[in-house]
Amino acid sequence: MKKFAVIGSPIKHSLSPQIHTLFGKRLGIQISYEAIEVKRAEFKAKVDKLLNDGYLGLNVTLPLKEMAFQYSDINSEEATFTESVNTLNIKNSSVFGETTDGQGLLLDLKDKGFRLEGSRVVLLGSGGSAKSIIPSLLSNNLKSLSVANRTQNKAEVLVNKYKDTSPEIGLIEVDKPVDSEVDIVINATSAGTLKQSLTMPPNIFGPTTRVYDLSYSKDITPFNLLAQKAGIKDTYDGLGMLVNQAALSFEIWNEIRPDIEGIEGKLRS
Ligand code: ATR
């Protein structure tokens, strides 16, 4: 039996054990997959112990993705760029760090029929979640990627990091109107999870704007509710991204990509 787990805090409500168990069943691979509470202060001691106990891979979620990046022996190019690791893979006694968040988002956007090429995209937020998806978004020939964040200098740092290689990235202010219609709005703030209100450009939702909220909840997310109240029909939450990034992690560990068909629907019901 191959042992895997997701670590983070809070972790009780993680859907990852359910998702990976389904993948294992579909492929006839015997795995165990637990959700283990790990706080920042205990990261090294607990991860050392898990690896010692024979775990072959760990998914890493909030608030540990940067610590996992520091912990790995060898990080992938994308993990290095984003300074974020959501998948630890143990191989030949080395710890490999990878991030499947960005590619998981791209796969789900594709599944949901989003067209990124030539699109004007607004990204709200500049924390860990926003950082982990920027290189993937920028790999799609967007017309523009405009980043807005409550604390503007954090958005500025992010934009400056990519500006030279990707001139389509730019900064916008959270409380000023945008000057052209937005095709896609991606919410990467934690305002909804924290049950706080969110300031954003007043005209951000145009008649043809599509909305993707990286967070997910049983009911519609607060951000998607705001968008719907502003007349947007096309709103998606991050559950599909979760399933896709899980499939990519599973593939890193087991060298086979599980079929995700029907899993998102199953989780919703
Ligand atoms: P995560 O890993 O989920 O991205 P994070 O790194 O703590 O979590 O980042 C949270 C992001 O949500 C930040 O961009 C934060 O803005 P600040 O940089 O100004 O803190 C944003 N955020 C959180 N609560 C918010 C709120 N009520 N309104 C606007 N932005 C908010």
Query: What confidence tens digit (pLDDT) does each residue in 121-156 have?
Result: 999 999 999 999 999 999 999 999 999 999 999 999
Average pLDDT over residues 232-257: 98
Q: How far is the CA of 92 from the centre of ligand 1 (A)?
A: 38
Note whether 3 and 254 are within 8 A (CB). no
Distance of CA 112 to the CA centre of its chain: 16
What are 40-87's pLDDT values in tens digits? 999 999 999 999 999 999 999 999 999 999 999 999 999 999 999 999
**What is the largest distance, in Å, between two alpha-carbon atoms of the chain?**
56
* In the predicted structure, residue 25 carries a pLDDT above the cut 90: yes
CA distance 253 to 140: 27
Specify the pairing of strand 2-8 against strand 169-171: unpaired
98 falls in which pLDDT band (50, 70, 90)? very high
Q: Give the sheet arrangement for strand 235-236, strand by strand.
A: 169-171, 144-148, 120-124, 184-187, 210-213, 235-236
How confident is the model at residue 80, as a pLDDT?
96
Catalytic: which of 65, 110, 131, 266? 65
CA distances from 220 to 11, 108, 225, 226, 238 (A): 21, 18, 6, 10, 11
How would DSSP label each residue in 49-80?
Answer: HHHHTT--EEEE-TT-HHHHHHH-SEE-HHHH
| Atom of ligand 1 at shortest range from CA of 131 | 4
| Atom of ligand 1 at shortest range from CA of 198 | 28
How confident is the model at residue 23, as a pLDDT?
98
Q: How far is the CA of 186 from the centre of ligand 1 (A)?
A: 13
Query: Which stretch of 177-181, 191-195, 203-207, 245-249 has the lowest confidence by average pLDDT?
Result: 191-195
99 falls in which pLDDT band (50, 70, 90)? very high
* In the predicted structure, residue 35 carries a pLDDT above the cut 90: yes
- Token digits of residue 156: 């500025």
How confident is the model at residue 237, as a pLDDT?
98
- Token digits of residue 147: 């980043």
| Average pLDDT of the chain, as a whole number | 97
CA distance 33 to 126: 31
Distance, first Cα to last Cα, the chain: 29
Q: Which residue owns the Cα nearest ligand 1 atom 6?
A: 127
- Please name each of the domains of the chain with its CATH number: 2-99+240-268 (3.40.50.10860), 102-237 (3.40.50.720)
Q: How far is the CA of 195 from the centre of ligand 1 (A)?
A: 12
Task: Kindly report the backbone phi and psi dihedral angles of residue 267, in degrees, each rounded to the nearest multiple of 5, phi listed first.
Answer: -65, -35
Q: How far is the CA of 210 from the centre of ligand 1 (A)?
A: 21
- pTM, to two decimals: 0.96
Mutate to test the pocket of ligand 1, among 150, 186, 196 (most ligand atoms within 8 A of CB): 150
CA distance 176 to 52: 52
* In the predicted structure, residue 193 carries a pLDDT above the cut 90: no
| Atom of ligand 1 at shortest range from CA of 62 | 2
Average pLDDT over residues 157-186: 97
Q: Which residue owns the Cα nearest ligand 1 atom 13?
A: 127
Average pLDDT over residues 78-100: 96
Average pLDDT over residues 217-240: 96
Of all helices (H) and strands (E), which one includes residue 143?
none
143: annotated active-site residue: no
How confident is the model at residue 83, as a pLDDT?
95
- Token digits of residue 224: 């998607």
CA distance 238 to 58: 20
The binding-site residues of ligand 1, defined as CB within 6 angstroms of any ligand atom, are 62, 125-130, 149-151, 154, 188-191, 194, 196, 198
